[in-house]
Structure 1
Amino acid sequence: MAKILILGTGSMAVSHATAFAAAPNTELVAAVETDPARREAFGKQFGITELFADLESAIAWGGFDAVANVTPDAVHYPTTMRLLAAGKHVFCEKPLATSYPLALEMAETAEAKGVINMVNFTYRNSPALQKARELVMAGAIGDIRYFEASYLQSWLVSKAWGDWRTESRWLWRLSAQHGSKGVLGDVGVHIVDFASFAANSEVANIDSRLKTFHKAEGDKIGDYPLDVNDSAVMTAEFANGALGTISATRFATGHANDLTLRLFGTAGGLDVRTDGKVSSLKICEGPDIDSSSWKDVECPPVPTTYARFAKACNTGVNDEPTFRRAAEVQRILDLCFAQEAARALHAAAPVVTD
């Protein structure tokens, strides 16, 4: 039976703990949280008695096999590397690290240690996404030629989740000095994985634009400079030769949390949609191509990333998405950030004339 420690007890940790508590042959045995009140409340909520104020104390105790790392983004690297050194299996929240070199180091270390390593790309839980990949791999739509992928959120124009102007749980996501890398770093990681996973092909080339919009007087609220990207648009080419677009924004009015992917091949097309809870898949193939007709595709339930990690810990057989996969996605994001930095540097350079 896999014995799981939850590292960090924020809102996402509740999802992790709930899922692992329900997974077969899995037991929640410990949690780490620096805040005493949150630590105690989390322990009571999930019946966890082994509670620690820091990771080192938990490692010294040692009564766990695996860890769900639900710490802030910048903390993933140092905590995971310490856990890998201790020989623990790790299920890490996305993004794996804040840069490709760090993510690659994590992947290589986990592989060298021979421990289970997975990243919580939650939209892999979509039955429609998994079925779409299956159809692509079976050749149902032929060779992919074009694709469109988007991740649309509206919380900068909606109060469905609360008011970002007054709540620090949202404001930090708009501030670089508070650890945010904007919409690209937050949800861009999901849509890049979503699109390339379904297409069964890695991103080979990318050209991108990032945009930060004016949102408050002085572009600052309290201690939070509002300086990270709010929208991202990429023109991408897959290794299989397909050309298309990948985009993400927090200004998509009317879209709470919607991922859409359209794949067009030489023998048909696929339309994948999910809001993280409900997903759908349509196909246009065969005789329907001439009439531009689309049909619904039945998508059976699939195991969640949580369930697959638990199974991997119990069987010793690693599953997807691995640290290496997450590092590859981070490589693409780093290229986008580098392109935007180069563009800004060029724009700021003085004009030299003869």
Structure 2
Amino acid sequence: MRILILGTGGMANTHAKNFAEIEGVELVGGVDVDPARVEAFNSTHGIQRGFGSLDAALAWGEFDAIANVTPDSIHHPTTMAALNAGKHVFCEKPLATDHTKAMEMTETAERLGLVNMVNLTYRNVAQLQKARDIVQSGQIGKVKHFEASYLQSWLVSKAWGDWRTESQWLWRLSKKHGSNGVLGDIGVHILDFAAYGAGSDFSKVFCRLETFDKAEGNKIGEYDLDANDSFAMTAQLENGALGVIHATRWATGHFNELRLRVYGDHGSVEVQHRHDWSKLFTCLGDDIETGVWTEVAVDPVPTNYMRFVEAVRTGRNLEPSFRHATNIQKVLDIATVTDRDKYEHKV
């Protein structure tokens, strides 16, 4: 299987490393508008061919699939071009910047019979996979309530770099540079984390967004710092469960932490995931009377990269698919509307 890496920024290195480790996969090309960057990327990963545009790569055409690691606002036009050229696509999240574009990508991929998957990276967390299994098996009974959070601190701490001087962070704070803020950036992750772990899609949401002052005039160079920094959401799932979801870049002391608690009438599960460890806890059976939580050991699970390769090889699409990511994008779009209208909307 031959893969083209489209976009050679920071996350592209993760794609290249993971795909290169899969037996039978060959990285055959890198694409970037910056010649120096694509040359350096190809040298690092032993890729022979470099291209300055997707059009040039498609004209060559000697590959089966692309890993689309371009900025969010570029996902739609590049993915559409790749699909129409008959290439399978593994796209970074979010699939698109709005539901309409995401749906066009989904319907095109499905109509053409091409494998389409989105790199919702926390599907790789074995503890989340196991939590979903426990919920769906009925061990916690009927799901009544859930709570989920995604906490980052890079607007406070320089542990990941200085956002005030580095474009890789500044663009995430600027609408005109394609950012939908914390809602679009990490909101897509925690919404998927919550719905997947709780075993049900969303039915209703209400969201509040907030953008805090970060610099004089809220502007640094060409970047207007106008994208949201925090959100707080109430949501109901199709299974009837009610819950809360929140995320922020101002969570001092939390570099990159996701948490999900799912409460049923016969037990509960909790997933904690950080950049350096993951844990799963359950409160089941007699323990619900004493409030005792037990840590559960889990085995590793196949990564999204592995599943994408399997999907291309078998011709059978796997999750997380474009359609699933499109449904999440609909929730994100509606969340923005509810912030404007100040009342709950159905999904």
- TM-score where L is the length of structure 1: 0.95
The separation in 2 between residues aligned to 1:41 and 1:33, in whole angstroms, is 11
**Aligned 1:84-99 pairs, distance under 5 A:** 84-99=83-98
Contact 2:153 2:254 in 1 (8 A): yes
**Aligned equivalent of 2:281:** 282
**Could you list the runs of 4 or more consecutive aligned residues of structure 1 that deviate by over 6 angstroms after TM superposition?**
none
The separation in 1 between residues aligned to 2:335 and 2:136, in whole angstroms, is 28
Which one-letter code corresponds to 1:45 in the other structure? T
**Aligned equivalent of 1:246:** 245
Deviation of 1:260 (Å):
0.1
**Aligned 1:111-190 pairs, distance under 5 A:** 111-190=110-189
Deviation of 1:155 (Å):
0.6
The separation in 2 between residues aligned to 1:168 and 1:40, in whole angstroms, is 20
1:17 matches 2:16: yes
Of 35-44 and 326-335, the range deviating more from structure 2: 35-44
Q: SS of the counterpart of 2:280?
A: strand
Which one-letter code corresponds to 1:168 in the other structure? S
Deviations 1:196-247 (A, max 9, x none): 0011100100011000111111111122111111000110000000001011
The separation in 1 between residues aligned to 2:125 and 2:41, in whole angstroms, is 28
The separation in 1 between residues aligned to 2:186 and 2:266, in whole angstroms, is 31
Shift in alpha-carbon separation, 1:65–1:277, aligned structure 2, 3 A: farther
The separation in 2 between residues aligned to 1:316 and 1:112, in whole angstroms, is 14
**Aligned equivalent of 2:65:** 66
Deviation of 1:279 (Å):
1.1
The separation in 2 between residues aligned to 1:106 and 1:178, in whole angstroms, is 21
**Aligned equivalent of 1:265:** 264
Deviation of 1:48 (Å):
1.0
Contact 1:171 1:224 in 2 (8 A): yes
Shift in alpha-carbon separation, 1:276–1:122, aligned structure 2, 3 A: farther
The separation in 2 between residues aligned to 1:61 and 1:277, in whole angstroms, is 41
Deviation of 1:15 (Å):
0.3
**Aligned equivalent of 2:320:** 321
**Aligned equivalent of 2:297:** 298
**Aligned equivalent of 2:216:** 217
Q: SS of the counterpart of 1:331?
A: helix
The separation in 2 between residues aligned to 1:112 and 1:62, in whole angstroms, is 21
Which one-letter code corresponds to 1:152 in the other structure? L
Deviation of 1:342 (Å):
3.3
Contact 1:25 1:314 in 2 (8 A): no
Deviation of 1:343 (Å):
4.7
The separation in 1 between residues aligned to 2:27 and 2:15, in whole angstroms, is 10
C-alpha RMSD over aligned residues? 1.1
**Aligned equivalent of 1:347:** none
Which one-letter code corresponds to 1:336 in the other structure? A
Unaligned runs of 5+ in 2: none
Percent pairwise identity: 57
Deviation of 1:293 (Å):
0.3
Q: SS of the counterpart of 1:324?
A: helix
**Aligned equivalent of 1:75:** 74
The separation in 2 between residues aligned to 1:55 and 1:220, in whole angstroms, is 32
Count of matched residue pairs: 343
Deviation of 1:335 (Å):
0.4
Which one-letter code corresponds to 2:39 in the other structure? E
The separation in 2 between residues aligned to 1:259 and 1:286, in whole angstroms, is 26
Deviation of 1:277 (Å):
4.7
Deviation of 1:278 (Å):
2.2
Deviations 1:78-108 (A, max 9, x none): 0000111011100000000000011011111
Contact 1:123 1:276 in 2 (8 A): no
**Aligned equivalent of 2:50:** 51
Shift in alpha-carbon separation, 1:278–1:242, aligned structure 2, 3 A: same
**Aligned equivalent of 2:337:** 338
Deviation of 1:276 (Å):
4.5
Shift in alpha-carbon separation, 1:233–1:183, aligned structure 2, 3 A: same
Which one-letter code corresponds to 1:112 in the other structure? R
Contact 1:212 1:230 in 2 (8 A): yes
Q: SS of the counterpart of 1:165?
A: coil
Contact 1:126 1:276 in 2 (8 A): no
- TM-score where L is the length of structure 2: 0.97
The separation in 1 between residues aligned to 2:42 and 2:153, in whole angstroms, is 33
1:107 matches 2:100: no
Deviation of 1:340 (Å):
2.2
